[in-house]
Structure 1
């Protein structure tokens, strides 16, 4: 089954100079029947890559859009009520759409499945 994806706006951020980035406009992504609108002023760290692995993968790159959407879906500010497992699947689908190497995309997906639970909907 093919998943329909569409980036509906460009990802525009301001570097906060502390490892975090603030969206300077809404970032909108459509996937299946969801329109995910990450609001202007949302703060992200892109992909939460441990420092030891940053020689291999940076927190930003082709996977930036997927990381921002995933951070938003995991955040307490997200009102879409998407379960963690679905948020992780959306992350994987956007990684594929963004042209991330399939092996890296799979590893990033496995990492969020294994280690993301503590960050999901932080209260």
Structure 2
């Protein structure tokens, strides 16, 4: 069994609505332990602007989970990789003690988006 360790990621502004990881970010969840390298660029939660008043993309409450998800998605090569990224997002949000409704919304929104993306782009 893997020891869980999920600290808050340290970032600095990079560009409008984008951030850069300020130092290597190492996290450990029951399903995955990994390192996100310093310099990795993220937009936080990729939420349509119309919903920003309800779910701000840079909210510290879930920002670390979103950075992990972005990193995994950028490196995804298959539909299974995207589904794993979504599962890790859910797991990270649970570790951060995010309320169950927000976890449900984020997880299922990502699943729907990635299934459509894989279908359109022919990713298997």
Pick the TM interval, shorter chain. Answer: 0.7 to 0.9
Report the Cα offset of residue 3 of structure 1.
Answer: 8.3
CA distance in 1, matches of 2:103, 2:31: 23
TM score, norm. by length of structure 2: 0.81
The one-character-per-residue Cα deviations of 1:18-73 (angstroms, maximum 9, x if unpaired) are 11000110111111253211110000001001011011010022111110000000
Higher helix share: 2
Give secondary structure in 2 for the equivalent of 1:47.
coil
Name the counterpart of 2:32: 34
Name the counterpart of 1:100: 98
Listed as ranges, the gaps of 5+ residues in structure 2 are 119-124
Report the Cα offset of residue 10 of structure 1.
Answer: 4.2
How do residues 60-71 of structure 1 correspond to structure 2 at under 5 angstroms?
Answer: 60-61=58-59, 62-71=61-70
How many pairs were matched up?
115
